[in-house]
Amino acid sequence: MASPIDRLDLSPKHAQHNLSAAALIEQAIVAGEGMLASNGAIMCTTGDRTGRSPNQKFLEDTPGIHGKIWWGKVNRPVAPEAFERAMNIAVDHLNARPRLFVFEGFAGADRRHRLGVRVVTEQAWHSLFARTLFIPQGSKAAGDASGGAFQADWTILNAGKRRLTPDEQQALGVDNPVMILQSLERRTVVILGTEYAGEMKKSIFYAMNYDMPDQGVFPMHCSANVARNDPSNVALFFGLSGTGKTTLSADPGRALIGDDEHGWGPDGVFNFEGGCYAKCIKLTKEGEPEIYAAIRFGSVLENTPIDPLTREPDYFTPRWTENTRVTYPVDYIAGAVIPGIGGHPGNVVFLTADAYGVLPPVSKLTHDQAMYYFINGYTSKLAGTEAGVTEPQPNFSPCFGGPFLPRPPASYAGQLVERLKRHGSQVWLLNTGWTGGPYGKGERFKLGYTRAMVTSILDGSLRGVPCEADPIFGLAIPSSVPGVPADVLRPRGTWKDGAAYDDQARRLAAAFRDNDKQFDMPESVRSAGPRA
């Protein structure tokens, strides 16, 4: 049976294929899609959707994949007939556009473990986004200067300007004009009604999370870097958006492998992407010099106000959203590893932004604790990262990437612990959230202190430091960290009211225990959690 995608007109008369960044920027400006900032980046807006729309994401349910999927709030089924209808809507819309843009490249810096990705868009800046975030054919990031024949393993149909009508919503069984659909068997993504470009990026991460385990690769929502003078000193930083993955991995003393999505394969780690997607809110040259310098021609600023006269970006005014973003090629970070491939990590850091203000800023985990805190994936959902989120909220996201997991979380946690044991990697829990009180009363940990903790982890100086166990969470807290006041390390002492801290800590511990009931885990792992 013919697929609706077979009707898509990608002929040279209708679609422009694999344009350069300069050509796409020119097309976007001519079409009124964006404006150039003084630093050379193009700034584009995404309409009323300034973050992902997880409640409008659906997975085609077929007999071939049904038994492998973690069904529930994350993976919500849609019937094949509805998927077909939605794909027809997208194809009809794209065929009716005056022109289309096609990007063809890869997800996966390791040539043995990569997917070919074709992205079809109606807006030039969306194609530039894809060119920046994925790996272009023939590029140094692809590790294949000759290019070669391209095979599309996955196709994205981005009809983001096409909103569903009320009749179409009724026919599809939804109550929203926005719909993002993914099919693991058709290997196709359909985007309707949202111009937020991050939907493209995350749909392919979702695909890698399904496909890579079958290739012996553990897919990870993490950043990665390596010491410039020691290629064996590789580190991973797990965490959800806003917890510091991009900021902490962009370290002048270390080479960036990638800032968000990686695989851990038989020979080490590798970047899934060819670019970085960094938050811009409150960005300064002094605070994050590597990211600030990466915003130049070829970069895409999202929803960042630009002064109409000076064209200077305003990183401090959330005119449309707190979730202001910039996309840039990974090689815009000085000294980045190209292709993005490294060895096995010696240190693995779990990042959390604790809105309760009770977790220690740094702690050392056993293997059982690592599996427990990984499978629970606690952080706070930060403003703007999802539609409708306007202030931080406590949030558990399995494996620090629950929205992108097609398979059960325990399967990914098992892959992690197996590799930790095999390669002797040490795991740390790093709280980049609040201290001295919960969100609204306490204050955020100083970035300088957090960087000092990371430095001590990565140079090995914390491994031998004596630790004491937190009485509620059981976490091993180092007695000292160079460059960090001792009183900062023990969260209870930063609160004016110790009893209030105890109450908040017990509340969070109880929330962990309530959350972990949904997971099947060994008793040794469950007992490694907090004492509720």
Show which residues are catalytic.
Answer: 52, 202, 221, 241, 245-246, 260, 325
CA 262 from centroid of its chain's CA atoms = 10
Residue 124: both structure tokens together:
């030039």
CB of 404 within 8 A of CB of 202? yes
- For CA atoms 315, 318, 320, 325, the dihedral sign is positive
Angle between helix 498-516 and helix 367-376 axes, rounded to 10 deg: 80
Q: How many CB atoms lie within 10 A of CB 235?
A: 27
What is the C-alpha separation between 495 and 441, in angstroms, rounded? 10
Residue 286: both structure tokens together:
């002094």
What is the C-alpha separation between 137 and 135, in angstroms, rounded? 7
Which of 92, 95, 65, 91 lies closest to 78, judged by CA? 65
Burial class (CB in 10 A: 0-12, 13-18, 19+), 73: exposed
Angle between helix 367-376 and helix 409-423 axes, rounded to 10 deg: 150
In DSSP terms, 380 is beta-bridged to 394
Alpha helix ranges (H) inside 177-233: 198-211
What is the C-alpha separation between 239 and 221, in angstroms, rounded? 7
Cα separations in angstroms, 516 against 355, 378, 379, 429, 509: 19, 11, 14, 18, 11
What is the C-alpha separation between 345 and 257, in angstroms, rounded? 12
Which of 234, 204, 28 lies closest to 133, judged by CA? 204
Cα separations in angstroms, 97 against 94, 125, 158, 192: 5, 15, 12, 14
What is the C-alpha separation between 486 and 12, in angstroms, rounded? 64
SS3 of 301, please? strand
Angle between helix 198-211 and helix 124-133 axes, rounded to 10 deg: 40
